[in-house]
Every structure is written in C-alpha cells, then in structure tokens.
C-alpha cells in the first residue's frame, strides 16, 4: 500500500514537471516567432528609411519645401573674435625600431665570419 502511494506521488510530480516544461516550451516558441516578426519588420523599416533618405529624394523634398542650392554670393561668413579653430588631425608616428646600420642588421650581428675568425685566432695567439 505504501509503495502504491509513493508511486502515485512520483507520478503526480512527474506530470506536474512535464506540464510546466511543456508550457515553458510553448512560451519559448511564441517568443521566437515574435522575435522573428520583429526582425523582419525592422529590416522592412530599415529598407524604407534607406529609400526615403536617398540623395535624390532628399533633394526633391528640399525643393518642395522651398529650399534651393546656395550660390557663393548668397553665403555670408561671420568672423568671431577670439575663436581659435581646433588643430588639424596629425596622425601619430608608427611605433618603430631605431635605425639599424649596415643593411638593417642589429649591431650584434654585423660581424662577418672572417672578422670573427680573425678575432678568435688573435685571442688564441695572444693567450698561448
């Protein structure tokens, strides 16, 4: 009898967990469908915005609002006392190595084989 009660409790817990899992799965599917629709709609609106803001369309819209291209005689410049314009952009120098003599080799590697052998033999003669 106790085994039957335990089996019923385990079965009820199993059903409760599975029903919650199924509900969560359906909710995830609904949210994924909503996300896909929002992505599609966003792409559609981005394309529409790109179409509405083409230079040709913007010029047509400006003309319909009464704007026209400025001619040099229509432009007036103002001089502002004390204004100091920002300095122009100066690109930083690339990080480099110091200049290397004799064909770009490090001074540690500029000795030839002949010079090395001469130095070695001179050391042997002086030491003997």
Q: What is the pTM of this model?
A: 0.43
Inside any domain, residue 124? no
Quick: pLDDT tens for 59-82.
999 999 999 999 999 999 999 999
CA atoms within 13 A on the CB side of 52: 6
Inside any domain, residue 119? no
- Whole-angstrom distance, CA of residue 34 vs CA of residue 81: 58
Inside any domain, residue 42? yes
Contact between 110 and 101 (Cβ < 8 Å) = yes
How large is the average pLDDT for residues 31-39?
96
Total domains present in the chain: 1
Q: How confident is the model at residue 101 (pLDDT cuts 50, 70, 90)?
A: low
Which residues 6+ apart lie within 8 Å of 102 measured at CB? 110
Domain that holds residue 58: 7-64
Backbone angles phi, psi at 76, to 5 degrees: -120, 130
The two structure tokens encoding residue 52:
């509405």
CA distances from 8 to 4, 14, 120 (A): 6, 10, 95
Residue found under tokens 């994924």: 32
Helices (H), ranges, 2-127: 2-52, 55-64, 101-104, 113-127
Inside any domain, residue 39? yes
Inside any domain, residue 101? no
Instruction: Give the pLDDT of residue 107.
Output: 61
Q: Three-state DSSP class for 85?
A: coil
Inside any domain, residue 2? no
């Amino acid at each position: 009898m106790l085994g039957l009660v335990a089996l019923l409790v385990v079965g009820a817990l199993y059903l409760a967990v599975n029903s919650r899992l199924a509900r969560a799965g359906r909710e995830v599917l609904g949210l994924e469908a909503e996300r896909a629709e929002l992505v599609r709609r966003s792409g559609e609106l981005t394309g529409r915005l790109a179409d509405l803001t083409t230079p040709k369309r913007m010029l047509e819209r400006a003309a319909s609002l009464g704007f026209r291209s400025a001619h040099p005689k229509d432009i007036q410049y103002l001089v502002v006392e004390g204004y100091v314009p920002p300095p122009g952009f100066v690109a930083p120098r690339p990080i480099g190595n110091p200049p290397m003599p004799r064909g770009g080799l490090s001074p540690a590697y500029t000795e030839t084989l002949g010079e090395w052998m001469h130095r070695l033999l001179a050391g042997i003669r002086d030491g003997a």
